[in-house]
Amino acid sequence: MTSMVQSSKHKKVVSLGHHKLFFSTLLSFSILFFSACSNKVSSINDLQTLPQNALAYEFTLKTQTAQNTQHNLTLFKERFFGPWNQKQLSISQKKASWGEIYMTQKVYGLNHQLLSKKWFKKLNDNANWAQYNHLKADAVVIKNSNLRVFPSTLPIFYNPKKAGEGFPFDYNQNSGIKINTPILISHYSTDKQWVFVESGFAFGWIKTSDIALVNERIKTTYLESTLYIAIKDNFPIYKNSMFIEQIKLGTIFPKSRQGNFFVFNHYHNLEGYIQTIQNPKEKLHTLPLPFTKEKVQHVVNELIQEPYGWGEAFSKRDCSALTKDFFALFGLYLNRNSKQQTRNGEYISLKELSNQEKKEQIKSLSEPFSTLIYLPGHIMIYAGIKDNEPLVFHNFWGIKTENLFNEKGRFVVGQAAITTLEPGKELPNYAPQSNILSKIKGMVILHP
């Protein structure tokens, strides 16, 4: 009897112990789960421990000869003014209308509802592709604008409920385009509100109101002018104290033989004319800027902490817009997107290496602010070494995360910053296998 009672008590104690262990485990799991899913962390460690000021870093730049400088400047002008030397757009109609692929996919509109075939048909009819390469007219951009995939300001999103989709990832946004950029016009949309154009770096639909047709006299005046480039970001320009435009770093300005800076405007028939502006004083510099440590630090500090702008929407930069504008100041003309920029120098593949081997190769072979680090969909500028870790300067949206149920998310950073190759690795839901270092495919040695 006694042994039976003791046995029963023992079973109850064991059972109670199992329950305590179960609830303890459940509590630990819940704490881990909710901490992993919590977004209470306001910033990543890299932004707290790494100075977001280029003056805090020591680095040595690759020597640039006068011959290289002149060579790069010649290539820069050829690319920049290239559309005015073409008899027609260099791309086929099929490539120009590549956006039609969205018509067969599940994509969403401004209200997060699926876009219909009828909606796309209306846009495609307005695109007036039967007139492709019909006009072939030289023009110039007269205000900061956008190159759109379809002739519309309305956005196109993939499923907004998925991480990394929805705002700001508007797939109708091809690229921003700056004031004073030479373009070649293919044709007008049916409603005449848009023109399809090609610039030296991208193509797409731009609002008719944002361009001016240029004759040979205007073109010659621009081509024979001394070129200056904006070395400050986000400053206004004026004509007789009247606002004209907010200028982005990397904008090209012509200076006439009379010593006047000018932009362009148009009459009601789109015929262009030259418009002198008030001297922006120390905000412009002759192209190119000397490739010195002091100048590099200045440019980094102008761009750092700028909010992320997919496709340069809202006049902000994405990763490849940052790299393009950065190197433009030093006379190096880069392609527009990250994949294309891998062709702007000597490409070295890193895809077969381990993460540690990637770091060692990058530290060994890279030149600060003369090397790009590439992974699919993203590109960064190598910025040197701190505490034996390679650093990069880049504008990025966020860090990939994954919770205990394998649900993917993003910790949004959304700005230009100096970071390691593993930003956010301290986050409880950090996904190392799908983040920057693991995804790096190669590096590009530039020759500025």
- Indicate whether 115 pLDDT > 50: yes
Q: Please answer whether residues 205 and 190 qualify as being in contact, where contact means their C-beta atoms are separated by less than 8 angstroms.
A: no
- Give the lowest-confidence range in 32-46, 76-90, 168-182: 32-46
Stretch (H or E) spanning 207? strand 203-207
Instruction: Delimit the domains of the chain by residue range.
Output: 45-62+291-445, 66-286
The predicted structure's pLDDT at residue 28: 41
- Give the model's confidence band at 36: pLDDT under 50 very low, under 70 low, under 90 confident, else very high: very low
Domain spanning 45-62+291-445: which CATH class is it, in words? alpha beta
The predicted structure's pLDDT at residue 20: 44
Nearest Cα neighbor of 221 from 72, 84, 76, 79 is: 84
What string of DSSP letters covers 276-324? E----GGGEEESSPP--HHHHHHHHHHHTTPBB-GGGGGG-B-HHHHHH
pLDDT tens-digit readout, 262-293 = 999 999 999 999 999 999 989 999 999 999 99
The residue whose two tokens read 């907004």 is 160
Question: What pTM did the predictor assign?
Answer: 0.90
- Give the model's confidence band at 40: pLDDT under 50 very low, under 70 low, under 90 confident, else very high: low
